[in-house]
Structure 1
Amino acid sequence: MPLCRITLPVGEISSNTTILYDSETRDSVIFDAGGDIPKIAHEIQKEHLNVKHIYYTHGHYDHVDLSGQLQEVCGCEVSIHEADMFLYELSPKMKKSRGFSIPSCPLPKISTHKEGEKVIVGEYEGKIILTPGHSPGSCCFSFDHLLIAGDTLFKNGFGRTDLPGGSMEQIFASLRKLCTILPESTVVVTGHGEETTIGAEKKTLGIF
Structure 2
Amino acid sequence: MSTTSLYGLYSPDPSDLVSEAPEQFAQMCQSIETALHEIDQRATPEGTAPVIAQTYEALAGMTGVIGQTGYVTADATESLNGPYVWSGSVWTRVWTRADADTDMSPVDCVPSNLASYGTCTVVKKQGWVHMALNWKSSASASWGSGDIGTVPEGYRPPWRVEFSPVVSNEVNNKMVYITTDGKIGYSNRGGAQDSTGFSGNFSWPLA
Output the TM-score relative to the length of structure 2: 0.25
| Larger RCO of the pair (alpha carbons < 8 Å, separation 6+) | 1
Higher share of residues assigned helix:
1
User: Going by fraction, where is strand more abundant, 1 or 2?
Assistant: 2
Structure label with greater radius of gyration: 2
